[in-house]
A and B are shown apart, each in its own frame.
Chain A
Amino acid sequence: MNVTTPVAASPHPLEGAESRGSEPTCVGTDGTRSGRVSRPRGQQGTSADRQSRIRGVRWMLACVWLLTIGGCAMPQPWVKPHERERLADPILQWQGDLLSSKNSQHVRDIREGARGANGVQGGGCGCK
Protein backbone atom coordinates (compact mmCIF):
# COMPACT_ATOMS: atom_id res chain seq x y z
CA MET A 1 0.00 0.00 0.00
CA ASN A 2 1.41 3.26 -1.10
CA VAL A 3 1.20 6.13 1.27
CA THR A 4 1.22 9.54 -0.41
CA THR A 5 2.15 12.56 1.57
CA PRO A 6 -0.11 15.48 0.73
CA VAL A 7 1.77 18.57 -0.39
CA ALA A 8 0.44 21.78 1.01
CA ALA A 9 -0.51 24.35 -1.62
CA SER A 10 2.14 27.05 -1.70
CA PRO A 11 0.88 30.64 -1.54
CA HIS A 12 3.66 31.71 -3.98
CA PRO A 13 4.46 29.73 -7.13
CA LEU A 14 8.20 30.25 -6.69
CA GLU A 15 8.18 28.67 -3.30
CA GLY A 16 6.90 25.44 -4.74
CA ALA A 17 9.63 25.55 -7.37
CA GLU A 18 12.28 26.10 -4.74
CA SER A 19 11.03 23.20 -2.74
CA ARG A 20 11.22 20.95 -5.82
CA GLY A 21 14.74 22.14 -6.53
CA SER A 22 14.14 22.70 -10.25
CA GLU A 23 15.33 26.33 -10.17
CA PRO A 24 18.38 27.80 -8.50
CA THR A 25 17.71 29.88 -5.48
CA CYS A 26 16.54 33.36 -6.28
CA VAL A 27 16.99 34.84 -2.87
CA GLY A 28 19.78 37.36 -2.69
CA THR A 29 22.05 38.01 0.21
CA ASP A 30 19.73 40.74 1.40
CA GLY A 31 16.79 38.41 1.30
CA THR A 32 15.13 40.01 -1.77
CA ARG A 33 14.12 38.08 -4.83
CA SER A 34 16.26 39.37 -7.63
CA GLY A 35 15.49 36.73 -10.25
CA ARG A 36 19.18 35.87 -10.57
CA VAL A 37 21.50 33.47 -8.88
CA SER A 38 23.42 35.35 -6.22
CA ARG A 39 27.16 35.35 -6.72
CA PRO A 40 29.98 35.87 -4.30
CA ARG A 41 31.29 39.42 -4.01
CA GLY A 42 34.45 38.62 -6.04
CA GLN A 43 32.43 37.69 -9.16
CA GLN A 44 30.28 40.86 -9.37
CA GLY A 45 32.82 42.62 -11.65
CA THR A 46 32.87 39.68 -14.04
CA SER A 47 29.12 39.93 -14.53
CA ALA A 48 29.37 43.65 -15.29
CA ASP A 49 32.13 42.96 -17.80
CA ARG A 50 29.99 40.33 -19.44
CA GLN A 51 27.08 42.73 -19.75
CA SER A 52 29.36 45.36 -21.19
CA ARG A 53 30.72 42.87 -23.70
CA ILE A 54 27.19 41.88 -24.74
CA ARG A 55 26.36 45.55 -25.20
CA GLY A 56 29.50 45.98 -27.28
CA VAL A 57 28.57 43.05 -29.48
CA ARG A 58 25.09 44.53 -29.93
CA TRP A 59 26.57 47.87 -31.00
CA MET A 60 28.92 46.10 -33.38
CA LEU A 61 26.04 44.13 -34.92
CA ALA A 62 24.07 47.36 -35.29
CA CYS A 63 27.07 48.97 -37.00
CA VAL A 64 27.50 46.03 -39.38
CA TRP A 65 23.78 46.14 -40.15
CA LEU A 66 23.92 49.88 -40.87
CA LEU A 67 26.96 49.48 -43.11
CA THR A 68 25.27 46.63 -44.95
CA ILE A 69 22.05 48.52 -45.65
CA GLY A 70 24.09 51.61 -46.53
CA GLY A 71 25.33 49.76 -49.59
CA CYS A 72 21.83 48.84 -50.72
CA ALA A 73 19.80 50.94 -53.11
CA MET A 74 16.37 52.04 -52.03
CA PRO A 75 13.67 49.79 -53.46
CA GLN A 76 12.51 51.23 -56.76
CA PRO A 77 9.74 49.22 -58.34
CA TRP A 78 9.12 51.81 -61.06
CA VAL A 79 10.90 51.82 -64.39
CA LYS A 80 12.99 54.90 -65.16
CA PRO A 81 12.59 56.65 -68.52
CA HIS A 82 15.96 55.45 -69.77
CA GLU A 83 15.03 51.85 -68.93
CA ARG A 84 11.91 51.78 -71.12
CA GLU A 85 13.54 50.54 -74.28
CA ARG A 86 11.65 47.28 -74.36
CA LEU A 87 8.40 48.86 -73.21
CA ALA A 88 8.59 51.27 -76.15
CA ASP A 89 8.62 48.42 -78.66
CA PRO A 90 5.94 48.87 -81.35
CA ILE A 91 4.90 45.25 -80.86
CA LEU A 92 3.50 46.26 -77.46
CA GLN A 93 0.87 48.44 -79.13
CA TRP A 94 -2.63 47.05 -78.77
CA GLN A 95 -3.45 47.50 -82.43
CA GLY A 96 -1.26 46.43 -85.33
CA ASP A 97 -2.75 48.78 -87.92
CA LEU A 98 -3.28 52.31 -86.68
CA LEU A 99 -5.53 53.44 -89.56
CA SER A 100 -7.98 50.54 -89.38
CA SER A 101 -8.11 50.73 -85.61
CA LYS A 102 -8.96 54.45 -85.81
CA ASN A 103 -11.77 53.58 -88.22
CA SER A 104 -13.10 50.88 -85.88
CA GLN A 105 -12.91 53.30 -83.00
CA HIS A 106 -14.87 55.90 -84.93
CA VAL A 107 -17.57 53.38 -85.81
CA ARG A 108 -17.76 52.34 -82.18
CA ASP A 109 -18.08 55.96 -81.11
CA ILE A 110 -21.00 56.49 -83.48
CA ARG A 111 -22.84 53.23 -82.89
CA GLU A 112 -22.31 52.75 -79.22
CA GLY A 113 -22.23 56.37 -78.24
CA ALA A 114 -19.09 55.52 -76.31
CA ARG A 115 -15.97 57.62 -76.34
CA GLY A 116 -12.61 57.62 -74.66
CA ALA A 117 -10.76 55.12 -72.47
CA ASN A 118 -9.14 53.65 -75.54
CA GLY A 119 -5.63 53.56 -74.13
CA VAL A 120 -2.94 56.14 -73.51
CA GLN A 121 -0.90 58.33 -75.78
CA GLY A 122 2.73 57.63 -76.46
CA GLY A 123 4.77 54.53 -77.01
CA GLY A 124 5.68 53.94 -73.38
CA CYS A 125 9.10 55.54 -73.53
CA GLY A 126 8.19 58.11 -70.90
CA CYS A 127 9.48 60.89 -73.12
CA LYS A 128 6.59 63.24 -72.39
Chain B
Amino acid sequence: MRDLIHRRSLMAVILLAAAGAARAKAAPDALAPDFTLRQIDGANLRLGEQRGRVVMVNFWASWCGPCRVELPQLARLHDKYRGSGFLLLGVNIDEDAAAAKALAAKLGITFPILLDSKKEVVGAYDLNAMPATVLIDRDGRVRHLHRGYKDGVEQVYEQQVRALLRE
Protein backbone atom coordinates (compact mmCIF):
# COMPACT_ATOMS: atom_id res chain seq x y z
CA MET B 1 0.00 0.00 0.00
CA ARG B 2 2.77 2.35 0.96
CA ASP B 3 4.66 1.45 -2.21
CA LEU B 4 1.55 2.26 -4.21
CA ILE B 5 1.32 5.69 -2.58
CA HIS B 6 4.99 6.28 -3.27
CA ARG B 7 4.57 5.32 -6.92
CA ARG B 8 1.57 7.59 -7.32
CA SER B 9 3.34 10.50 -5.67
CA LEU B 10 6.34 9.94 -7.94
CA MET B 11 4.10 9.99 -11.02
CA ALA B 12 2.46 13.20 -9.82
CA VAL B 13 5.84 14.84 -9.27
CA ILE B 14 7.11 13.76 -12.70
CA LEU B 15 3.99 15.22 -14.33
CA LEU B 16 4.37 18.45 -12.37
CA ALA B 17 8.04 18.72 -13.34
CA ALA B 18 7.17 18.08 -17.00
CA ALA B 19 4.48 20.76 -16.87
CA GLY B 20 6.93 23.21 -15.37
CA ALA B 21 9.55 22.45 -18.00
CA ALA B 22 7.12 22.94 -20.89
CA ARG B 23 7.12 26.53 -22.13
CA ALA B 24 4.38 28.26 -24.06
CA LYS B 25 5.75 28.78 -27.54
CA ALA B 26 4.25 29.57 -30.89
CA ALA B 27 2.89 26.55 -32.73
CA PRO B 28 0.39 26.25 -35.58
CA ASP B 29 -3.27 26.16 -34.43
CA ALA B 30 -2.27 27.03 -30.86
CA LEU B 31 -3.17 30.30 -29.17
CA ALA B 32 -0.48 32.88 -29.82
CA PRO B 33 1.46 33.64 -26.62
CA ASP B 34 0.14 36.94 -25.34
CA PHE B 35 2.43 39.89 -24.68
CA THR B 36 2.34 43.57 -23.89
CA LEU B 37 5.12 45.75 -25.23
CA ARG B 38 5.90 49.43 -25.41
CA GLN B 39 5.61 51.03 -28.80
CA ILE B 40 8.24 53.23 -30.31
CA ASP B 41 6.06 56.28 -29.53
CA GLY B 42 5.73 55.29 -25.85
CA ALA B 43 2.21 53.75 -25.73
CA ASN B 44 1.72 50.13 -24.68
CA LEU B 45 0.13 47.56 -26.97
CA ARG B 46 -1.24 44.15 -25.96
CA LEU B 47 -1.62 41.35 -28.48
CA GLY B 48 -4.64 39.87 -26.66
CA GLU B 49 -6.60 43.08 -27.27
CA GLN B 50 -6.29 42.72 -31.04
CA ARG B 51 -8.76 39.82 -31.26
CA GLY B 52 -11.07 40.22 -34.23
CA ARG B 53 -8.25 41.37 -36.47
CA VAL B 54 -5.81 39.39 -38.52
CA VAL B 55 -2.44 40.11 -36.93
CA MET B 56 0.99 39.59 -38.38
CA VAL B 57 3.87 39.74 -35.89
CA ASN B 58 7.27 40.27 -37.45
CA PHE B 59 10.43 39.99 -35.34
CA TRP B 60 13.22 42.12 -36.72
CA ALA B 61 16.44 43.92 -35.76
CA SER B 62 18.50 46.69 -37.29
CA TRP B 63 21.58 44.41 -37.41
CA CYS B 64 19.75 41.75 -39.42
CA GLY B 65 20.34 42.17 -43.16
CA PRO B 66 17.31 40.24 -44.50
CA CYS B 67 15.05 42.19 -42.11
CA ARG B 68 16.07 45.40 -43.84
CA VAL B 69 15.01 43.89 -47.16
CA GLU B 70 11.75 42.53 -45.78
CA LEU B 71 10.51 45.58 -43.86
CA PRO B 72 9.57 47.75 -46.88
CA GLN B 73 7.61 44.78 -48.33
CA LEU B 74 5.74 44.41 -45.05
CA ALA B 75 5.03 48.15 -44.94
CA ARG B 76 3.40 47.89 -48.38
CA LEU B 77 1.32 44.92 -47.18
CA HIS B 78 0.21 46.86 -44.12
CA ASP B 79 -0.75 49.94 -46.11
CA LYS B 80 -2.77 47.82 -48.53
CA TYR B 81 -4.82 45.81 -45.99
CA ARG B 82 -4.94 47.98 -42.88
CA GLY B 83 -8.49 49.10 -43.72
CA SER B 84 -9.71 45.49 -44.04
CA GLY B 85 -9.00 44.41 -40.47
CA PHE B 86 -5.31 43.63 -40.83
CA LEU B 87 -2.71 44.72 -38.30
CA LEU B 88 1.03 44.35 -38.68
CA LEU B 89 3.18 44.51 -35.55
CA GLY B 90 6.92 44.84 -35.93
CA VAL B 91 8.67 43.58 -32.81
CA ASN B 92 12.14 45.04 -32.70
CA ILE B 93 14.72 43.21 -30.58
CA ASP B 94 17.57 45.72 -30.68
CA GLU B 95 19.19 46.45 -27.35
CA ASP B 96 19.27 50.11 -28.31
CA ALA B 97 15.83 51.47 -29.23
CA ALA B 98 17.46 54.42 -31.00
CA ALA B 99 18.75 52.06 -33.72
CA ALA B 100 15.20 50.79 -34.28
CA LYS B 101 13.81 54.32 -34.46
CA ALA B 102 16.49 55.41 -36.93
CA LEU B 103 15.91 52.46 -39.25
CA ALA B 104 12.12 52.78 -39.06
CA ALA B 105 12.37 56.45 -39.99
CA LYS B 106 14.82 55.71 -42.79
CA LEU B 107 12.61 53.00 -44.33
CA GLY B 108 9.41 55.00 -43.80
CA ILE B 109 7.64 52.32 -41.75
CA THR B 110 4.08 53.19 -40.80
CA PHE B 111 3.01 50.08 -38.87
CA PRO B 112 3.42 49.91 -35.06
CA ILE B 113 6.93 49.08 -33.90
CA LEU B 114 7.12 47.36 -30.50
CA LEU B 115 10.32 47.28 -28.48
CA ASP B 116 11.46 43.97 -27.04
CA SER B 117 14.95 44.99 -25.98
CA LYS B 118 15.04 42.32 -23.26
CA LYS B 119 14.20 39.68 -25.89
CA GLU B 120 11.51 38.14 -23.70
CA VAL B 121 8.80 37.92 -26.34
CA VAL B 122 11.07 36.64 -29.10
CA GLY B 123 12.40 34.09 -26.60
CA ALA B 124 8.86 33.00 -25.70
CA TYR B 125 7.93 32.52 -29.37
CA ASP B 126 11.20 30.61 -29.85
CA LEU B 127 11.21 30.59 -33.64
CA ASN B 128 14.99 30.12 -34.03
CA ALA B 129 15.35 32.44 -36.99
CA MET B 130 15.75 36.10 -37.85
CA PRO B 131 13.57 37.54 -39.21
CA ALA B 132 10.59 35.51 -38.08
CA THR B 133 6.96 36.15 -38.94
CA VAL B 134 3.82 34.81 -37.28
CA LEU B 135 0.35 35.12 -38.78
CA ILE B 136 -2.49 35.09 -36.25
CA ASP B 137 -6.15 34.76 -37.17
CA ARG B 138 -9.12 36.69 -35.78
CA ASP B 139 -9.48 34.21 -32.89
CA GLY B 140 -5.92 34.74 -31.71
CA ARG B 141 -4.62 31.42 -33.04
CA VAL B 142 -1.30 31.02 -34.82
CA ARG B 143 -1.99 29.98 -38.40
CA HIS B 144 1.31 30.40 -40.23
CA LEU B 145 4.93 30.56 -39.15
CA HIS B 146 7.68 31.88 -41.39
CA ARG B 147 11.30 31.50 -40.42
CA GLY B 148 13.82 33.72 -42.20
CA TYR B 149 13.25 35.66 -45.38
CA LYS B 150 13.45 34.63 -49.00
CA ASP B 151 12.84 36.77 -52.05
CA GLY B 152 9.22 36.60 -53.11
CA VAL B 153 7.88 35.40 -49.75
CA GLU B 154 5.85 38.62 -49.50
CA GLN B 155 3.53 37.17 -52.15
CA VAL B 156 2.92 34.17 -49.91
CA TYR B 157 2.25 36.57 -47.01
CA GLU B 158 -0.32 38.41 -49.09
CA GLN B 159 -2.13 35.22 -50.11
CA GLN B 160 -2.27 34.04 -46.52
CA VAL B 161 -3.46 37.42 -45.21
CA ARG B 162 -6.22 37.55 -47.82
CA ALA B 163 -7.33 34.02 -46.94
CA LEU B 164 -7.46 34.87 -43.24
CA LEU B 165 -9.32 38.12 -43.87
CA ARG B 166 -11.96 36.21 -45.81
CA GLU B 167 -12.66 33.79 -42.93
**A128: interface (CB < 8 Å):** yes
Across the interface, do B64 and A125 meet the contact criterion of CB distance under 8 Å? yes
Across the interface, do A67 and B65 meet the contact criterion of CB distance under 8 Å? no
**B4: interface (CB < 8 Å):** no
CA A81 to CA B122, docked complex, whole Å: 10
> For B119, what are the chain A residues with a Cβ–Cβ distance below 8 Å?
82-83
Tell me how many residues of B have a C-beta within 8 Å of chain A. Answer: 30
**A55: interface (CB < 8 Å):** yes
Across the interface, do A81 and B6 meet the contact criterion of CB distance under 8 Å? no
> For B61, what are the chain A residues with a Cβ–Cβ distance below 8 Å?
82, 85, 125
Q: Nearest Cβ in chain A — how far from B20, in angstroms?
A: 4
> For B130, what are the chain A residues with a Cβ–Cβ distance below 8 Å?
81-82, 84, 125-127
**A114: interface (CB < 8 Å):** no
Tell me how many residues of A have a C-beta within 8 Å of chain B. Answer: 25
Given A59-B10, A123-B63, A127-B66, is A82 in contact with B123 using a C-beta cutoff of 8 Å? yes
Across the interface, do A70 and B20 meet the contact criterion of CB distance under 8 Å? yes
Across the interface, do B2 and A52 meet the contact criterion of CB distance under 8 Å? yes
**Chain B, residue nearest A122 (CB):** B65
Across the interface, do A128 and B66 meet the contact criterion of CB distance under 8 Å? yes
21 A–B contacts, CB within 8 A, in A order: A56-B6, A59-B6, A63-B9, A66-B17, A67-B17, A69-B17, A70-B18, A70-B21, A80-B123, A81-B128, A82-B93, A82-B130, A84-B63, A85-B93, A88-B64, A125-B64, A125-B130, A126-B129, A126-B130, A127-B64, A127-B131
Interface positions of B (Cβ within 8 A of A): 2, 6, 9-10, 13-14, 16-18, 20-21, 59, 61, 63-67, 93-95, 119, 122-123, 128-131, 148-149
